[in-house]
Structures are given as C-alpha cells and as structure tokens.
Amino acid sequence: MLFDRVGGSEFFVRLVDEFYVGVVGDEVLWPLYPDQSDLDGAKHRLTLFLIQYWGGPQTYMEERGHPKLRMRHMPFHVGPLERDRWLVHMARAVEVVTSDPDVRAELMAYFVPAAEHLRNDTGLPISTRKP
C-alpha cells in the first residue's frame, strides 16, 4: 500500500500543507474557499481523505461518511481552469514532498482523473444540477 510505502499519515499532512501553500495565493482557487480565515477544516478533510484512499485508517469515513466527492464539490464551480489550477498546485506539492518517481507517478495517476471527475461546469445553474 502506498500509505505504508510513504511512511504513513505524516506524508499526507505534508502533501496537503504544500498543496495549500499554492492554493492560498491562487486567484482562481482561493475565492472558492468560503472561510478563508480558517483552512484547518479543509486541510483536515483532504488529509483524511487521502490517507484513507491510499490505504491508511478509515477516519474520513468515520467522521464524514462516504466521500461523495462530486456531490461535495457541486456547490463550487469547477471547470477546466479550476481543474488545471488544482492540478498545478497538487503536482507541485507532490514534487516537494517526495523524490521517488514511482510514488510521484502513482499519486498523479490518481490526481489527474480525480480532478477531471470533479468538473461540474455543465452550464446548468447549481440549483438544477443533479449529483
């Protein structure tokens, strides 16, 4: 499992911290965060999700239930630009926290299609979209 290969939870804490370094200064992504004064919740949720996804403890499920990523992101406009900006920051975070090319490739093989999956720019108003 990747979780064990990268050393456990601390790796994902560092990954998420590095990711948010980029998000905070991003003029496209930063406005999507409703409570910009407190990123602790967003960091906590992403960290727990990644830990669980990559084979660690199921704390995310215990705290939040099924991830339902598309549904949880539906209130926010996620189009090609938002997807691409998210990937820029996540790819940079991956580069910063690991030098192992196999780990980098495995992470990005998940993040690229996951970011595309979260796109919700159907042209329909949010109130009429179906998750």
What domains are there in the chain, each with its CATH number? 2-128 (1.10.490.10)
Question: pLDDT for 71-87, tens place per residue?
Answer: 555 556 778 899 899 99
Model confidence at 70: pLDDT above 90: no
For residue 37, give the amino acid letter: S
- At CA 24, angle to CA 49 and CA 125, rounded to 5? 70
User: What pLDDT shows up at residue 127?
Assistant: 45
Burial class (CB in 10 A: 0-12, 13-18, 19+), 65: exposed
- How would residue 32 be classed by pLDDT, with cut points 50, 70 and 90? confident
Model confidence at 66: pLDDT above 80: no
The rounded Cα 43 to chain-centroid distance in angstroms is 9
Rounded CA-CA distance 109/122 in Å is: 25
